[in-house]
């Protein structure tokens, strides 16, 4: 296989586990979107209902997989041995209360309908995603092991987050003006939005300078820095491309990033469990500690949420607190809680380089 690839003039991306994991996550995300589009076509053409539960294949599919991701993360969290002990429990309680406070603040300022609040929400998630990709980079043993390496990764994470936020803010303004979305612009004066974009851009430039300074201190040259972090830069470039292309279609870019984040963790945990080769003693152990069980539970939950979305529209008429909890307008609150609680996480030591 390898010789055939070499003969054809290319080789599979085997050198970087980080890049390979991101590529697999992208394939999973593309498959999920394709499934969503197929369900959309079936619902629209074959059934032609007066109301559709799958109005946006990307958004609804993302929400189903993300809610499954959140549920599994919380179940694994509260059954994790790392949570035992007052220090870990106290840390989790702090981040949980912070999540509750953020949800309350998000609701008070009209949340997702407020462009400025929406940008802050996007930024919070992008910080989470940038940090997780750096976490994967470390876990795979690809991050340089030298003094202050964690500091440089932190600088890089915040730099990427601010650059992504500035890009999203700029694309949001362009999209709003092109589509003449007066209702959006009236809620926040264009001058305020432009000022926010200016502040984001200034903060991003400042972090770029700080990151480059730290990189020069640690690696001596930008070339060595670029080579040392090449897989992570390639992953960030992939995320940037998805955001840039998807943002041309409104919130599609952000929805795709959330979907890639979810499938990224699906691929990561599946690979880690596969490397352990456990022998489950019961059904729970099979779900918790085997790659087959983990993927089965994840996909089963995602399909269950899709069915609940359909019932919400076609059977329950979108009424009641349960339907409201499943609505797209409630998704940011689930996300804020998930992100906030994830910050308690115990960082695992990187694997040894092969």
Q: What is the pLDDT of residues 16-75, one digit of tens each?
A: 999 999 999 999 999 999 998 988 888 888 777 777 777 788 899 999 999 999 999 999
Please say if the pLDDT value at position 260 is more than 90: yes
Please list, in sequence order, all residues whose beta carbon lies within 8 angstroms of the beta carbon of residue 322, skipping any fewer than 6 positions away: 316
Q: Which residue did the predictor score with more confidence, 115 or 89?
A: 89
Tokens of 195: 């000022």
pLDDT band with cut points at 50, 70 and 90 for residue 99: very high
Cα–Cα dist 106/102, whole Å: 6
Q: Find, among 338, 325, 308, the residue nearest to 64 by Cα.
A: 308
Q: Which residue did the predictor score with more confidence, 273 or 167?
A: 273
Model pLDDT, residue 6: 40
- Portion of the chain with pLDDT greater than 90, in percent: 42
Please say if the pLDDT value at position 184 is more than 80: no
Model pLDDT, residue 179: 61
pLDDT band with cut points at 50, 70 and 90 for residue 200: confident
Question: How far lies 122's CA from each of 27, 125, 172, 243, 336, in Å?
Answer: 23, 5, 12, 11, 10
What are the extents of the domains in the chain? Answer: 18-43+54-342
Model pLDDT, residue 191: 65
Q: What is the pTM of this model?
A: 0.84
Cα–Cα dist 166/200, whole Å: 6
Mean pLDDT to the nearest integer, 211-234: 92
| Tokens 């690839």, located at residue | 5
How big is the chain, counted in residues?
354
Model pLDDT, residue 288: 85
For 53-99, the three-class secondary structure string (H helix, E strand, C coil) is CCCCHHHHHHHHHHHHHHHHHHHHHHCCHHHCCHHHHHHHHHHHHHH
Mean of pLDDT over the chain:
83
Question: How far lies 104's CA from each of 30, 63, 64, 72, 268, in Å?
Answer: 34, 21, 24, 24, 32
Which stretch of 45-54, 251-260, 296-305, 340-349 has the lowest confidence by average pLDDT? 340-349
């Amino acid at each position: 296989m390898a010789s055939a690839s070499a003969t054809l003039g290319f080789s599979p991306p085997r050198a970087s586990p980080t890049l390979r994991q991101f590529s697999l996550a992208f394939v999973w995300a593309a498959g999920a979107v394709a499934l969503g589009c197929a369900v959309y076509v079936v619902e629209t053409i074959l059934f032609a209902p007066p109301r559709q539960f799958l109005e946006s294949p990307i958004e609804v599919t993302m929400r189903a997989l993300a809610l499954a991701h959140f549920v599994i993360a919380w179940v694994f969290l509260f059954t994790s041995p790392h949570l035992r002990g007052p220090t870990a429990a106290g840390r989790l309680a702090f981040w949980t209360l912070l999540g509750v406070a953020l949800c309350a603040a998000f609701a008070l300022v009209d949340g997702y309908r407020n462009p400025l609040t929406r940008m802050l929400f996007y930024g919070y998630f992008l910080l989470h995603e940038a940090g997780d990709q750096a976490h994967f980079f470390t876990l795979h043993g690809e991050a340089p092991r030298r003094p202050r390496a964690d500091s440089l990764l932190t600088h890089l994470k915040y730099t990427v987050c601010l650059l992504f936020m500035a890009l999203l803010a700029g694309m949001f303004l362009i999209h709003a003006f092109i589509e003449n979305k007066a209702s959006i612009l009236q809620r926040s004066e264009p001058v305020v939005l432009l000022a926010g974009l200016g502040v984001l851009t200034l903060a991003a430039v400042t972090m770029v300078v700080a990151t480059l300074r730290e990189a020069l201190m640690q690696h001596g040259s930008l070339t060595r820095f670029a080579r040392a972090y090449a897989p992570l830069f390639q992953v960030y470039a992939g995320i940037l491309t998805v955001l840039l292309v998807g943002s041309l279609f409104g919130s599609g870019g952000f929805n795709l990033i959330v979907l890639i984040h979810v499938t990224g963790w699906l691929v990561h945990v599946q690979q880690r469990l596969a490397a352990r080769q456990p022998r489950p003693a019961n059904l729970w152990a099979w779900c918790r500690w085997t790659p087959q069980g983990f993927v089965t539970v994840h996909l089963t939950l995602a399909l269950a949420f899709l069915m609940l979305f359909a019932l919400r529209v076609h059977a329950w008429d979108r009424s009641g607190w349960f339907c409201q909890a499943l609505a797209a307008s409630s998704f940011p609150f689930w996300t804020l809680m998930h992100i906030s609680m994830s910050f308690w996480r115990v960082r695992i030591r990187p694997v040894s380089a092969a």
